């Protein structure tokens, strides 16, 4: 069986769907080794935006047009970093809090700019993992309702790297709880 390397990924975007709106930034870190991380701000692919999304991200399009990394370069750098932190024989696993949103943007960009996605066609959703682990309903998986013992002692900032680290720590806490339960100590 192939070993897995869990990589926490968070993105900020100019709107709710890829293609029509740009991905603005990507933050990622290795679960269990958050000091091994990646961050990039991207040049927009178009001028479309949702005002609320830009306010949440805190990244003005005018700034990104001038200072953002070309998306093809950003995705190649991200793929290279994933390869560097994933040991030979391991499979990189995309992990996010509300994975469908973050994954759909990264997947779209990987395919559009590189023609491939190192994560493949799936991602591990922390919200769904939590739901199954503790027997919560879907409404109980929001950041404000998740059991406090699993939350890290850091704010959720909407900066992609900060939030990737936050997510990684939530997932580490959930995995520790699962392992303790399996060992009979929980």
Rounded-to-integer distance, Cα 116 and Cα 75, Å: 10
Residue 60 CB partners (closer than 8 Å, separation 6+)? 54
Catalytic residue of the set 33, 67, 107, 158: 158
* Calpha distance 33→134 (Å, rounded): 25
Token digits of residue 108? 């779209």
Longest dimension (CA), the chain: 55
Question: Three-class SS of residue 130?
Answer: helix
Query: What are the CA-CA distances from residue 165 to residues 16, 113, 131, 157, 183 (Å)?
Result: 22, 26, 21, 11, 27
Asked whether the CA dihedral 12, 108, 38, 68 is positive or negative, the reply is negative
Residue 107: active-site member: no
CB 10 within 8 A of CB 123: no
Residue 79 CA to residue 81 CA, distance in Å, equals 5
Which residues are designated catalytic?
Answer: 158
């Amino acid at each position: 069986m192939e070993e897995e390397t869990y990589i926490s990924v968070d993105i900020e975007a100019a709107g709710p769907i890829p293609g029509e709106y740009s991905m603005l930034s990507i933050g990622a870190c290795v679960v269990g080794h958050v000091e091994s991380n990646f961050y990039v701000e991207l040049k927009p692919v178009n001028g479309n935006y949702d005002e609320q999304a830009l306010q949440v991200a805190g990244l003005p399009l005018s700034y990104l047009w001038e200072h953002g990394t070309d998306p093809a370069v950003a995705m190649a750098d991200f793929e290279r970093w994933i390869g560097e932190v994933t040991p030979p024989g391991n499979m990189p696993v995309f992990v996010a809090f509300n994975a469908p949103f973050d994954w759909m943007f990264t997947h779209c960009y990987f395919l559009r700019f590189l023609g491939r996605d190192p994560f493949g066609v799936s991602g591990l959703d922390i919200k769904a993992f939590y739901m199954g682990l503790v027997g919560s309903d879907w409404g109980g998986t929001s950041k404000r309702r998740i059991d406090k013992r699993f939350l890290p002692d850091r704010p959720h900032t909407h900066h992609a790297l900060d939030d990737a680290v936050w997510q990684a720590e939530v997932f580490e806490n959930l995995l520790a709880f699962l392992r303790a339960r399996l060992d009979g100590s929980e």
